[in-house]
Amino acid sequence: MSELKGAAIFGQSGGPTAVINASAAGVFQEALKQGDITKVYGAAHGIKGILEEKFYDMSKEDPYELELLKTTPSSALGSVRYKLKNVEDDETDYKRILEVFKKYNIRYFFYNGGNDSMDTCNKISKYMQKSGYECRVMGVPKTIDNDLWATDHCPGYGSAARYIATSTMEVYHDARVYDQGMITVLEIMGRNAGWLTASSALATYAGFGPDLIYLPEIPFDLDRFILEVSDLYRKQNKVIIAVSEGIRDKDGRYISEYSADLSKNKDSFGHVQLGGLAATLVEILKEKTGAKIRGIEFSLLQRCAAHLGSLTDVNEAVLAGQMAVRYAVEGKTDYMVAFERAAGAEYKCNIKLVALEEVANKEKKVPREWINEAGNGLKKQFIDYALPLIQGVSAPPLENSLPRFAKLKKVLAPHPNVNKEPVSIFAK
């Protein structure tokens, strides 16, 4: 353990979750307690806030509001989707980050995000090492997609899964209320990994869930899909289907593109913007079956539903933030905090550290052996994996029976040189 005194900065990156602020609370509360950490900053909009020298002094916040972050969804500091270029191609951003770190004596950098964000974290870590500037860099995992490599699961997933399972159980009741036939298509997030869509199987496990579940892990065959749905519709008059927004055919083409050319809508990571899959399948099934069909998109609701948080998830998100700080203060750097499930019948996860470069840009998918042979449902192994992750109730405190979310003051950190070396427009 080597002592390193200096400021810490924390940033949130990528799509928000119901618990990304819980990790923020973990980082801030822990960092504010650490004697080696002289200042605690929160970057506005992740890496962008660092590049633009826009960050908040977290010591100015009311501790009660920091505590409320644990049940406040989305990214309280603002998030970002900004991909750092490779340092060999363009060093500009890296130089700027180093300059800012030096200016504020930032010696601890914590970054909370998914695969892309761990790539950012990894690149910055390696650049700091190469530059000989001592800065401890720790990734804190989050993503509702649950697709981060080398960790049992990701904070954010459990709460989203609890929301999806609960809402699916409720829709199940609504969707079979009339005695006429009906097919319901639930569109669930997840670009390449089917973890979120698979969580609808928890509703089936509880007795009120989808009959058919299609994940992006299995190439989607439209003809077979129509047959499977029609067959079930004939037999039981009511069918509920859960589909991942990311399902693709054997040629890799998104099914959502079947009715719309979405190629012009690319976000800054180069991903195609998905959506409209439920609507597409509704049109196709309407024509093929003649049934009454409803498409439901869980949309943003599934990633911000703090009112249906999993306490396990929230506690682990806080823990991931705390442990990132403690490990860094102890001298660790260049790692992501990860979860390792202990053996045994009872659920228990331990914290471990994984090298950032092991995690960056890699994706973890639902294992083929957890999906049934027909490729349209989940097996018991998945339930055993996912059920512990949604346990326990987390919800924000209420005011007038509505959530009381955190309200941060967001006091901008003053530029440290402003008063020391006033800039004159009259050059020497």
For the annotated catalytic residues, the residue numbers are 145
Q: How would you write the chain as a 3-class SS string?
A: CCCCCEEEEEEECCCCCCCHHHHHHHHHHHHCCCCCEEEEEEECCCHHHHHCCCEEEHHHCCHHHHHHHHHCCCCCCCCCCCCCCCCCCCCHHHHHHHHHHHHCCEEEEEEEECHHHHHHHHHHHHHHHHHCCCCEEEEEECCCCCCCCCCCCCCCHHHHHHHHHHHHHHHHHHCCCCCCCEEEEEEECCCCCCHHHHCCHHHHHCCCCCCEEECCCCCCCHHHHHHHHHHHHHHHCEEEEEEECCCECCCCCEHHHHCCCCCCCECCCCCECCCCHHHHHHHHHHHHHCCCEEEEECCCHHHHCHHHEEHHHHHHHHHHHHHHHHHHHCCCCCEEEEEEECCCCCCCEEEEEEEHHHHCCCCCCCCHHHECCCCCCECHHHHHHHHHHHCCEECCCEECCEECCCCCCCCECCCCCCCCCCCCCCCC
Judged by CB under 8 A, the stretch of 103-111, 335-343, 367-375, 394-402 that binds a second copy is: 394-402
Nearer to a second copy, 195 or 405 (CB): 405
Binding mask 257-286 for a second copy (x = CB under 8 A): -------------------x--x-------
Which is closer to a second copy, CB of 260 or CB of 351? Answer: 260
In the complex, the smallest distance separating the C-beta of residue 412 from a second copy, rounded to whole angstroms, is 14
Q: Does 167 bind a second copy (CB under 8 A)?
A: yes
CB of 14 to a second copy, least distance (A): 10
Looking at 391, 397, 415, 417, which residue binds a second copy (CB under 8 A)?
391
Position among 32, 206, 355, 412 found at the interface with a second copy (CB under 8 A): 206
With binding defined as CB under 8 A, does residue 199 bind a second copy? no
Member of 169, 262, 272, 351 binding a second copy (CB under 8 A): 169
Contact between 307 and a second copy (CB under 8 A)? Answer: yes
Core vs surface per residue 332-366: b (16+ CB within 10 A) or e: bbbbbbbbeeeeeeeeebebebbebbebbeeebeb
User: For a second copy, which residue of 71, 72, 112, 280 counts as binding (CB under 8 A)?
Assistant: 72
Which of 69, 228, 405, 413 is in the footprint of a second copy by CB under 8 A? 405
Q: Is 78 in the site for a second copy (CB under 8 A)?
A: yes
* Residue 250 interacts with a second copy (CB under 8 A): yes or no: no
| Binding flag, residue 142, a second copy (CB under 8 A) | no
CB of 396 to a second copy, least distance (A): 9
Report in angstroms how near the CB of residue 15 gets to a second copy at its nearest: 8
**Closer residue to a second copy in complex, CB, 66/80:** 80
**Cβ closest to a second copy, residue 26 vs residue 78:** 78
Among 69, 304, 318, 328, binds a second copy (CB under 8 A): 304
Site membership for a second copy, residue 66 (CB under 8 A): no
Contact residues: a second copy, CB under 8 A = 16, 44-45, 48, 72-75, 78-81, 162, 165-167, 169-171, 173-179, 202-203, 206-208, 276, 279, 294, 296-297, 299-301, 303-308, 310, 387, 390-393, 398-403, 405, 407
